[in-house]
Amino acid sequence: MIANDISHCQGCIFILLYIPHVYPKYACKKLLIMLFSKKYYVRISDKVRRDDMPTISISKEIETNGYADCRNITSDVQEAVKTSGITSGIVTVFIPGSTAGVTTIEFEEGVVNDLSVALERLIPKDINYKHNERWHDGNGFSHVRAAFVGPSLTVPFMEGRLQLGTWQQIVLLDFDNRKRLRRYLISIMGEK
């Protein structure tokens, strides 16, 4: 693929050098527009991505209790990276839904509880939310907490290993006001 691209570029250079002597106006306008157009570059980058940067996506399920329930999913993400056969690149964890989030934390009882308390101080359960007035589902706080934390996280990996800190784990947080069966996605992109 690289060889083809090089020969393709050599062909273009030849046309650029040769054609101006024959059709000066044509070369200056049409060829330069074609070669430097956005469409041309998009086509080349698509080729590179398909052949050299494979992407593998895995869907997983987890049962959660809501109310900032914090689950350590680091080993699942690490396992997905290992079995993908991709040795270095990035892995994105994404949770569909507007009442859950993904982040990192030191996964120990103390700081997990501290996070829950901090969220309660910042975004309390028992204040008025326009969302609750409109939908009467009582989880306005869940939506706001989820928006603050964010629904996804990207982590680099090298030689099949996540480049996390020693005390840093990937966690899924469920902020809803009830139990849920959650589905989340692990998308791995990189070099084999």
Contact 81, 160 (CB under 8 A): yes
Alpha-carbon span 148 to 170, nearest angstrom: 17
Contact 95, 153 (CB under 8 A): no
Stretch that binds Zn ion, among 51-59, 114-122, 132-140, 150-158 (CB under 5 A): 132-140
Nearer to Zn ion, 39 or 136 (CB): 136
Question: Binding pattern to Zn ion, positions 139-168, x when CB under 5 A?
Answer: x-----------------------------
Question: Contacting Zn ion (CB under 5 A), which of 97, 137, 149, 152?
Answer: 137
Write out the two tokens for 28.
């200056």
Contact 159, 171 (CB under 8 A): no
Nearer to Zn ion, 39 or 134 (CB): 134
Nearer to Zn ion, 120 or 137 (CB): 137
Alpha-carbon span 103 to 131, nearest angstrom: 25
Instruction: Establish if 66 lies at the interface with Zn ion (CB under 5 A).
Output: no
CB of 118 to Zn ion, least distance (A): 22
The tally of CA atoms less than 13 A away on the side-chain side of residue 55 is 11
Write out the two tokens for 57.
């996506």
Instruction: Establish if 78 lies at the interface with Zn ion (CB under 5 A).
Output: no
Instruction: Establish if 125 lies at the interface with Zn ion (CB under 5 A).
Output: no
Count interface residues toward Zn ion (CB under 5 A): 2
Nearer to Zn ion, 84 or 139 (CB): 139
* Rounded (10°) angle between helices 140-149 and 109-122: 120
CB of 70 to Zn ion, least distance (A): 20
| Side chain identity at residue 184, one-letter code | Y
Nearer to Zn ion, 54 or 66 (CB): 66
Instruction: Establish if 120 lies at the interface with Zn ion (CB under 5 A).
Output: no
Instruction: Establish if 178 lies at the interface with Zn ion (CB under 5 A).
Output: no
Sheet holding 161-162, edge to edge: 55-64, 180-191, 88-94, 152-158, 161-162
Could you list the residues that contact Zn ion (CB under 5 A)?
A: 137, 139
